[in-house]
C-alpha cells in the first residue's frame, strides 16, 4: 500500500471517530437542554433509564432526590407502592421481597409501626397484628399473643397506655389476670404499677370476704388462708403435735420441729419467748370472733380477728409469741421481737401482718403473729418484700 493511501484511510477513521464523539456530545447536549436536572442527576450517578423514571415524578420528589445521595434502588422506590416508606422504616430490600407480597391491609399496618424484628409473625398472625396495632411493643405483644383469644379480646378493649407494656413484661404480673389489672388501672389512673399489681395479685381490688374460694391443703406448709380464701369447717391438720419448749404450742409436726429449734436458740441467747396461741379449731375461732364482734362491733373485729375458716391458726402453722413481761402492744419493743425479725426466717417463720401492708392483709399490724412456711420459702419471701398473700399467688399457686 502506498503511503498516500494509508494517510487517507487514517484521516477517514479520524473524521469518523470525531463524528461519533461529537454525536455523543450532541446527544448529551440535547438531553441536558431538554430534560430538567439531567446534568445534576447524572452527576449524582443516575443512568438514563433511572433518570427517565425520576422524570415521571413530581418536582418535590425530584428536589429530594437531588439533595440525597445516589440510591441504587431508586426505580423500586419510585415505582413499587409502599417500598420507599418501608425502606425508610428500616426494612431491607431482601425483607421487602416478602413483605410486599402480603395483603394490602397488613402492609398499611406495618407502615404505622416502628421496625419489627417479628415482621414474619406479624404477617402470619392477624391476632398478633391487632395487638401491635393497638399499641403494644413486640415483646409485650408476643406475651399477650400467647393468651386465649377471649382474654386477648378483653385486654384490647382497654385503650393502650405507655406503661401497659411494663405491666405485661413484669415478673410480678400474672398474665392470665391482665384484664383485671387493666380494669383496676382504668378506675385508678394515677396508681403506680406496683400498686396495681399488689391490688390484683392479692385480690384486694375487691372488698374483703367477697368471692371467697376454698383453701388448698395440698400446698402443705405453703397453704394460703386469708379474707378471700377459707378453710373448711372440718379441716384439722393431720400432724398436730403439742410441744412445750417456750410455752405450750399445738402445731403441725414440721412447725413443732422448727419452733423447738427456734425457741432453743432464743433461750440460749438469753431471751424468754412465750407462745400464747397456736392451733385453733374452726369452732374456737368462731367463739373468739363472735365475742370480739359483740364487744367491738363487726367492722372493728374484722381488723384484728379472722372470721371462722379464715384464720391461719386453724392451719396449725401459726403461732402468737410474746414474752412473760410483754403484752400485745409492747411486744414489738422487746429484744425477743428484734431477734425474730432478724432470725425467724432461718427457722422458716415469717411475719404475716405488718404495719406497711395493712391495706393488703386487712389486719392491723401483729408483731406477735408468726407463720411457718419452711426455711427456703421464708428466706426467699424475705428478699421479695411482698405480703404472703401476693407471694403465694406469684410463686406458689
Site string for Zn ion, 338-377 (x = CB under 5 A): -------------------------------x--------
User: Would you say 230 or 369 has its CB closer to Zn ion?
Assistant: 369
CB of 147 to Zn ion, least distance (A): 39
Among the options 138, 198, 366, 390, which is catalytic? 366
User: Would you say 254 or 320 has its CB closer to Zn ion?
Assistant: 320
User: Would you say 141 or 316 has its CB closer to Zn ion?
Assistant: 316
User: Would you say 320 or 390 has its CB closer to Zn ion?
Assistant: 320
d(CA 310, CA 331) in angstroms, rounded, equals: 24
CB of 318 to Zn ion, least distance (A): 5
d(CA 369, CA 351) in angstroms, rounded, equals: 6
Which residue in 320, 336, 389, 390 binds Zn ion (CB under 5 A)?
A: 320
Contacts of 120 (CB under 8 A, 6+ apart): 98
User: Would you say 180 or 323 has its CB closer to Zn ion?
Assistant: 323
CB of 145 to Zn ion, least distance (A): 45
DSSP 336-387: HHHHHHHHGGGGTEEE-S-STTHHHH-S---TTEEEE--HHHHHHHHHHT--
d(CA 68, CA 64) in angstroms, rounded, equals: 6
**How many Cβ atoms from other residues are within 10 Å of residue 324's Cβ?**
9
> What's the number of CA atoms in the CB half-sphere (13 Å) around residue 210?
6
**Element containing residue 273 per DSSP (H, E):** strand 273-277
d(CA 266, CA 273) in angstroms, rounded, equals: 7
Q: Give the footprint of Zn ion on residues 1-30 (CB under 5 A).
A: none
93 is catalytic: no
> What's the number of CA atoms in the CB half-sphere (13 Å) around residue 122?
28
CB of 236 to Zn ion, least distance (A): 18
Q: How many residues sit in the footprint of Zn ion (CB under 5 A)? A: 2
CB of 319 to Zn ion, least distance (A): 7
Judged by the rule CB under 5 A, the positions of this chain that interact with Zn ion are 320, 369
Catalytic residues, by residue number, are 366
Amino acid at each position: 500500500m502506498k503511503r498516500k493511501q494509508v494517510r487517507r484511510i487514517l484521516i477517514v477513521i479520524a473524521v469518523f471517530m470525531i463524528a461519533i464523539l461529537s454525536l455523543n456530545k450532541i446527544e448529551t447536549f440535547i438531553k441536558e437542554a431538554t430534560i430538567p436536572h439531567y446534568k445534576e442527576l447524572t452527576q449524582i450517578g443516575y443512568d438514563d433509564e433511572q433518570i427517565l423514571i425520576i422524570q415521571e415524578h413530581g418536582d418535590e420528589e425530584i428536589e429530594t432526590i437531588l439533595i440525597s445521595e445516589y440510591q441504587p434502588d431508586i426505580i423500586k422506590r419510585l415505582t413499587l407502592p409502599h417500598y420507599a416508606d418501608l425502606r425508610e422504616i428500616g426494612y431491607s430490600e431482601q425483607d421487602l421481597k416478602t413483605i410486599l407480597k402480603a395483603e394490602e391491609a397488613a402492609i398499611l399496618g406495618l407502615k404505622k409501626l416502628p421496625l419489627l424484628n417479628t415482621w414474619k409473625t406479624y404477617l402470619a398472625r392477624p391476632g398478633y397484628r391487632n395487638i401491635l396495632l393497638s399499641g403494644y411493643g413486640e415483646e409485650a405483644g408476643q406475651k399477650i399473643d400467647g393468651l386465649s383469644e377471649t382474654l386477648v379480646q378483653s385486654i384490647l378493649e382497654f385503650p393502650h397506655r405507655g406503661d401497659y407494656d411494663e405491666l405485661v413484661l413484669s415478673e410480678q404480673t400474672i398474665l392470665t389476670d391482665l384484664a383485671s389489672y387493666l380494669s383496676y388501672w382504668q378506675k385508678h389512673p394515677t396508681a403506680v404499677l406496683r400498686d396495681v399489681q399488689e391490688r390484683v395479685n392479692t385480690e384486694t381490688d375487691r372488698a374483703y370476704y367477697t368471692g371467697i374460694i376454698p383453701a388448698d391443703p395440698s400446698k402443705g406448709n405453703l397453704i394460703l388462708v386469708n379474707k378471700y380464701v377459707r378453710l373448711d369447717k372440718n379441716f384439722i391438720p393431720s400432724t398436730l403435735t403439742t410441744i412445750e419448749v417456750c410455752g405450750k404450742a399445738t402445731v403441725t409436726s414440721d412447725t413443732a420441729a422448727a419452733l423447738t429449734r427456734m425457741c432453743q436458740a432464743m433461750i440460749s441467747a438469753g431471751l424468754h419467748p412465750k407462745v400464747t396461741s397456736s392451733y385453733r379449731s374452726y369452732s374456737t375461732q368462731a367463739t373468739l370472733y363472735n365475742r370480739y364482734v359483740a364487744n367491738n362491733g363487726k367492722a372493728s373485729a374484722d381488723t384484728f380477728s379472722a372470721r371462722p375458716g379464715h384464720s391461719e391458726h386453724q392451719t396449725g402453722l401459726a403461732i402468737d409469741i410474746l414474752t412473760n413481761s410483754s403484752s400485745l402492744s409492747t411486744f414489738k419493743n422487746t429484744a425477743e421481737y428484734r431477734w425474730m425479725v432478724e432470725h425467724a426466717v432461718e427457722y422458716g417463720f415469717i411475719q404475716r401482718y405488718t404495719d406497711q401492708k395493712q391495706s393488703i392483709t386487712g389486719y392491723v399490724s401483729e408483731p406477735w403473729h408468726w407463720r411457718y412456711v419452711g426455711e427456703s420459702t421464708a428466706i426467699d419471701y424475705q428478699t421479695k418484700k411482698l405480703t404472703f398473700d401476693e407471694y403465694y399467688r406469684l410463686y406458689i399457686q
